[in-house]
Amino acid sequence: MANATMTDYTQGKLFPMILKFSIPAAVSLLISAIYNIVDRMFVGNFVGTSALAGLSICFPLSFMMMAFALMCSAGGASLFSLFAGRQEQRSMNRAFGNALILVVVCELALTAFLMLLADPLLRLFGVTQTAYPYALPYYRIVVLGCLFQGLTQVCCDFVRVSGKPVLGMCVTGVGAVTNIALDAVFVMILDWGVRGAAWATVIGQILSAAFGLYLVLSGKTLVEIQRDTFHFDRRLSGKIVSCGFAFWIAQMANGLISLVYNSQLGKYGGDNAISVYAVVSSIMTFVTMPSSGISQGIQPIVGNNYGAGQYKRVMATLYKASVLSVGITAVIWVLVMAFPGPILMAFGATEEMLAIGIPGLRTNFCVTPILGFVMLVTTFFQSLAKPAPSIVITLLRQIVFLIPLLYLFPAVMGINGVFMAQPVSDVLALVLCVLLVIQEQRTLYAKLPAGAR
């Protein structure tokens, strides 16, 4: 039996509740982002530019691994929250059990696929001759962490939607602290280079997964482990995949975009430009993590209130969370725009990297605060178990808008055109999000009694 008590999301002041769940979720995701950022900082400073380019080449790999993890965890957690709003304990249990089964199967299959196709995939990712000796060993070791990253994400999400956001943060925190400590030992002291950075990441993921499984299986969440908890339900699993599919598309699109970025930057600026993208993508992850965390934090609030028919509270949650999300993103944006040089130097930037990176960072991040709303809207629809709008936003922003611009702008503007593509795509996505939210509010309010609208 679960020892956790059910939180009533339909009562009480919204903003304190949003803060309670969003801050730990945002910190948890920021901690997750540290995995890649810390690796790059150590490698850039202690191994060199070509090694940093090798890690950047492998960046699509991390998106592929995370795609399946988020699809299973976010989809399962969304249904878990909806079932909790209806007080359907058996369905809650099976949402967890099927999410866990799906993530194990998906991540093991992905591990086999990635191991078998290491060399052709690296060449597809755009690896250069000088970066290849660093990219291959890093790739082969990091792939071993697929399963553990997936388990960590599922456990973290289910701990969080069980009303224990701080414990959910600790699931990823255990791995991040381990990763940082081992990076210092393996890269700085033992001089293991990219192999040391890769092993530090994998060991951290193993410890996070072990701690997360302990919390769920020992009754520290709302999941009750019963005989049929892990019975595979094809229909329920289909719903989990459907609800989380927008996250899968987003992560796979990010991987594809990384491939295109590496190809274009390699074409216009070589290893130095690719290394700059390693910094840009790391900082972009850091900037958007608070928004992603707030999105995940409001997931149980939105899901439970939607399941309970509290539609005005659903929309109020979105609007209050949007103010918080845009505000935090704007603060980080100011720091990035004001101090691009010191940020690049933290990654061991050379003079050549600074020449490309300073204008590149400022261009890439020029409209970043609007992502505080765009990312929130994407997850909002997924929390309502309405994946179609989330999928449309993600596909248009990350594929239909962005990729053509990545080829068009550099042809006209040179290397800085590569960095201009993202902000233009984000502005177009913002317009789409506003229209979809207005439409959804009208749909929900139409379900309310006339006097309650």
- Per residue in 28-38, pLDDT tens? 777 766 666 77
The pTM (predicted TM-score) of the whole model is 0.72
Position 443 in a domain:
yes
Which amino acid is residue 357, in one-letter code? G
Burial class (CB in 10 A: 0-12, 13-18, 19+), 449: exposed
- Per residue in 323-380, pLDDT tens? 999 998 899 889 889 988 888 887 777 788 888 888 888 998 899 899 999 989 988 9
- Per residue in 195-217, pLDDT tens? 998 999 999 999 999 999 999 98
| Polymer length of the chain | 453
How far apart CA 327 and CA 370 sit, in angstroms, is 10
Position 2 in a domain:
no
How far apart CA 381 and CA 389 sit, in angstroms, is 7
Task: Kindly report which listed range (193-197, 221-225, 250-254, 386-390) carries the lowest average pLDDT score.
Answer: 250-254
Q: What is the mean pLDDT of residues 265-281?
A: 77
Q: How many domains does the chain have?
A: 1
Distances in Å between the alpha carbon of 44 and those of 32, 36, 88, 179, 191?
19, 12, 50, 16, 13
The DSSP output letter for 128 is: -
Residues 6+ apart with CB under 8 A from 438: none
- Is the distance from CB of 318 to CB of 298 less than 8 angstroms? yes
- Is the distance from CB of 67 to CB of 255 less than 8 angstroms? yes
**pLDDT band at 138, cuts 50/70/90?**
very high
Position 76 in a domain:
yes
- Per residue in 10-30, pLDDT tens? 788 888 888 888 888 777 777
Between 56 and 331, the more confident residue is 331
pLDDT for residue 452? 61
Which token pair is 448? 């309310």
**pLDDT band at 1, cuts 50/70/90?**
very low
pLDDT for residue 351? 80
Between 62 and 233, the more confident residue is 233
- Per residue in 425-452, pLDDT tens? 999 999 999 999 999 999 998 887 766 6
Got the DSSP string for 60-105? HHHHHHHHHHHHHHHHHHHHHHHHHHTT-HHHHHHHHHHHHHHHHH
**pLDDT band at 268, cuts 50/70/90?**
confident
Position 377 in a domain:
yes
Average pLDDT of the chain is 86
Instruction: Please say if the pLDDT value at position 5 is more than 60.
Output: no
- Is the distance from CB of 124 to CB of 71 less than 8 angstroms? no
Domain range for 127 is: 14-452
pLDDT for residue 6? 59
Between 147 and 62, the more confident residue is 147
- Is the distance from CB of 136 to CB of 122 less than 8 angstroms? yes
Task: Kindly report which listed range (184-193, 271-280, 438-447) carries the lowest average pLDDT score.
Answer: 271-280
- Is the distance from CB of 375 to CB of 295 less than 8 angstroms? yes
Position 9 in a domain:
no
The DSSP output letter for 6 is: P
Position 5 in a domain:
no
pLDDT for residue 265? 79
Q: What is the mean pLDDT of residues 136-157?
A: 93
Query: Computed from CA positions of residues 241, 290, 149, 255, in that sequence, does the dihedral angle turn out positive or negative?
Result: positive
pLDDT for residue 7? 66
How far apart CA 343 and CA 336 sit, in angstroms, is 8
Residues 6+ apart with CB under 8 A from 425: 397, 398, 401, 402, 405
Position 6 in a domain:
no
pLDDT for residue 104? 96
Position 3 in a domain:
no
Which amino acid is residue 168, in one-letter code? G
Got the DSSP string for 284-329? HHHHHHHHHHHHHHHHHHHHHHHHTT-HHHHHHHHHHHHHHHHHHH
**Of 284, 287, 152, 166, nearest in space to 208 by CA:** 152
SS3 9: coil
- Is the distance from CB of 26 to CB of 320 less than 8 angstroms? no
